[in-house]
Amino acid sequence: MSLSTPLYPCHLAERATFVDFGGWQMPLHYGSQTEEHLAVRRSAGLFDVSHMGILDLEGARVRELLSLLLANDVAKLREPGDALYSCMLLPNGGVIDDLIVYALRHERFRLVVNAATCAKDLAWILEHAARFAVEVTRRTDLAMLAVQGPQGRAHAVALLPAAAQPEALALRPFCGAQWGDWFLARTGYTGEDGVEIILPGNQAESLWTALRERGVVPVGLGARDTLRLEAGMSLYGHELDEQHHPLESGLAWSVQFAPPERDFHGRQVLERARAGGCDRLVGLLLEGRGVLRRGQSIAVDAPVDGAALVAGTLTSGSFSPTLKRSIGLARVPRGVGERVWVDIRGTYQPARVVKPPFVRHGAVRIPLHTAETVG
């Protein structure tokens, strides 16, 4: 049983509104999505992310296996605790999933994958693991909580033994370390500083209660989505899927082409796309009326007599609580200009093309006035 089910008293006491998410009953919000969002930007928020899949891989050739499966290069992981973000690709370059991989020790790695894709991730990894003699274990005994926000790391570290706190506070971004039963990683999905804590499932409820007693605000799926959108972070099933590759999904930075002899899945497709050009992912700031939503059509030229040639699609969109404007991510043709038009309920509204992130570390990162357009 996971903390993500509504059966734990700590969640029921919060009076959360639950929805089905990848087969889990997950909190949508605990009262006010906007207040939860702003708590993360200003102080600290608490997320139950126990629905994420945790896979441990071990074997003398585990690096070879991961070098084949991942678009990023695990050779970058030199020390225990080093972490790496990567997409796991099909031979056609499509994204099976995006994940974080941690080096636990020389021949052991931990993958944290998305809940909705965990079963197919596991099947894909097992399909290749046998010939590398790698053992794969799904860690259903573990839970995972995230504490995000400018004060989040201090709240989490305060619950460690006093002797461990200085080292935990000194943990570098995108690294993790083990303290007792807890694996603490300085990663996140909000654009703020913070930590994710992987721990035995039977300890999760007491950790949740301890963080709540410190004043950390519980945060549901609704605010998680607006936070990651403001931070310009891709979401599987929106920006990422098996029909699109990382170069057209805003994740070219996560593909490691060097050394040229590393033959990861999808490499040839990505090399052709890099050489010939492809669609790209951009940020949009709505200038007209309405709210940007996933699936809305985009025209790159001004409509004529109300008609327009559709050339792109919104992959994500929402009202930004920080900017108090409607924002989105969209896949558009390469070379698109500084403005596009979005079909909102049959009317094309202008939107400015900007470079994500919109917000990072509590600060607005894009110009909000037309005269300061970012290309």
**Three-state secondary structure along the chain?**
CCCCCCCCHHHHHCCCEEEEECCEEEEEECCCHHHHHHHHHHCCEEEECCCCEEEEEECCCHHHHHHHHECCCHHHCCCCCEEEEEEEECCCCCEEEEEEEEEEECCEEEEEECCCCHHHHHHHHHHHHHHHCCEEEECCCEEEEEEECCCHHHHHHCCCCHHHHHHHHCCCCCEEEEECCEEEECCCCCCCCEEEEEEEHHHHHHHHHHHHHCCCEECCHHHHHHHHHHCCCCCECCCECCCCCHHHCCCHHHCCCCCCCCCCCCHHHHHHHHHHCCCEEEEEEECCCCCCCCCCEEECCCCECCECCEEEEEEEEEEECCCCEEEEEEEECCCCCCEEEEEECCEEEEEEEECCCCEECCEECCCCCHHHCCC
> Per the confidence metrics, is the pTM higher than 0.75?
yes
What Rg do the C-alpha atoms of the chain give, in angstroms? 21
Question: Which residues neighbour 163 within 8 Å (Cβ) at sequence distance 6 or greater?
Answer: none
Q: Quick one: CATH architecture of 279-372?
A: Beta Barrel (2.40)
Task: Locate the domains of the chain by residue range.
Answer: 279-372
Lookup: tokens for 22: 């990848």
Question: What is d(CA 302, CA 341) in angstroms, rounded to the nearest whole number?
Answer: 7
CB 30 within 8 A of CB 15: yes
- The tens-digit pLDDT sequence of the chain (375 residues) is 344 554 445 665 677 888 888 778 889 999 999 999 999 999 999 999 999 999 999 999 999 999 999 999 999 999 999 999 999 999 999 999 999 999 998 899 999 999 999 999 999 999 999 999 999 999 999 999 999 999 999 999 999 999 999 999 999 999 999 999 999 999 999 999 999 999 999 999 999 999 999 999 999 999 999 999 999 999 999 999 999 999 999 999 999 999 999 999 999 999 999 999 999 999 999 998 899 999 999 999 988 887 788 899 999 999 999 999 999 999 999 999 999 999 999 999 999 999 999 999 999 999 887 534 333
What integer pLDDT is reported at residue 308 of this predicted model? Answer: 84
CB 282 within 8 A of CB 330: yes
What integer pLDDT is reported at residue 375 of this predicted model? Answer: 33
The pair phi, psi for residue 53, each rounded to 5°, is -85, 135
What integer pLDDT is reported at residue 150 of this predicted model? Answer: 97
Question: Which residues neighbour 253 within 8 Å (Cβ) at sequence distance 6 or greater?
Answer: none
Instruction: Reply yes or no: is the peptide bond before residue 173 cis, omega within 30 of 0.
Output: no
